[in-house]
Amino acid sequence: MGDKLKAGDEVKSRYFLDIRRFVRDNIESVIIYLVLVIIAVVGSIIAPDFTKPQNIKNVLLQAVALGLVAIGQTVVIISGGLDLSVGATISMVAVYTSGLMAGRSGILIVLPIVILTILMALSIGFLNSMIITKLRITPFIATLAMGSVTQGIVLMYTKIPRGLISPEWKFFAEGTIFGIHFGVMFFFAFLLVTLFMLKKTILGKYIYAVGGSETTARLSGIRTVRVLVFVYMFSSFMASLSALFLISRMGIGDPQVGGLNYQLYDLESIAAVLVGGTSLSGGIGSVIGTLAGVLILTLLNNIFNLSGVSTFYQWVIKGAIIIGAVATYRLIREEK
C-alpha cells in the first residue's frame, strides 16, 4: 500500500514538474493567452451580449481577415523584415476580383479570376523582395513605397466600390461545415500549415536563421535571397486570401478596404504579431503567439463596439497594450 502511494506521489511530482517546465519554456505564450482569457472574462462582464453564440461567431469571422494577413506578416517579421504593402494588396485584389467577376456565375469564370488576382498579389511580393535584396533598400521603405504605388494604381482604377462577386464565392464567408464557418476553418488550416513550415521544415529553419543574422546565414551557405523572395511572396499571398475573404462578406470590392477607411491591416497585422510575442528584430516568434494577438485585438474591437467606447479611447488602449506586451517580452528575454 505504501509503495503504491509513493508511486502515485512520484507520478504527481513528475506531472507538476512537466507543467512547470512547459510554463518556463513557453512563458511568453502562457502570458499572452492568460491576457486573452482575462480580456474575454472582462468582456463578458461589461458587455452582456458578448457571450451570445452569434456574437462569438461574429468575433471568429472578424478575426479571419486580420488573421490571414497576420500569418504572412509573422513570417516576414521572423525573417527580420516588415511588410507595409499588405493593406494596398488587399485593396487591389478586392477591387479587381469583384470587378472581373461582375456577378457572373460558374466555376470556369470564378477560378481563373481568383488565380489571376492571386498572381497579381504575388507579383507585389516578388517586387518587394527584389527591391530589398537587389537594391538593398530597407524593408520599411521598400514595402511602404510599394504599398503607396499599389494603392495609387487601385484608386486610378476606381475611387468607389465596384463590381459584384459571384454567388459561389459567398460560401467562403457564409458557408458552414458541421456548423463551423468555412472561412474560420480555412484560417486555422493555414495557421497549422504555417506552423508546420516554420517549426518542422528546412525552409522554416532558414527563415529563423536569416532573421537572426542575414550575414551569418549567408556565410553558412543559406541562399538568403531565395528565402526572402519566398517570405515576401508568402505575405502577399496571405494578403490576397484575406481580400478574397473580405469580398465574400461584403459582396463588392472597395478600393479602400485595405486600410484607408476600414481596418488598417498594415498596422493591425504588425500589432497582432508583436502582441503575440514575435520580435521586431527578427529570429524569434511563432504563429501560435500571433493567433493570440489576433484574437486579443479582435476581442477588444468587439467589446469596444458593444460598449460604445469612443474610437479615440480604443486607439489609446490598443497602443498601451502593444507597448506593455513588447516591454514584457523584452524583460523576459533579458532575464533568460
CA distances from 46 to 54, 57, 106, 164, 264 (A): 17, 19, 46, 39, 26
Q: How many CB atoms lie within 10 A of CB 181?
A: 19
Q: Does pLDDT of 12 surpass 70?
A: no
Delineate the domains of the chain, giving CATH numbers in brackets: 39-335 (1.10.3470)
Residue 49: pLDDT band (50, 70, 90) is: confident
Residue 27: pLDDT band (50, 70, 90) is: confident
Q: pTM of the predicted model, to two decimals?
A: 0.91
3-state secondary structure of 164: coil
**Which pLDDT does position 261 carry in this prediction?**
59
Q: What does pLDDT average to over the chain? A: 89
pLDDT: is 231 or 31 the higher one?
231
**Which pLDDT does position 24 carry in this prediction?**
65
Beta strands in 95-157, from DSSP E residues, in sequence order = none
C-alpha of 95 from chain center: 21
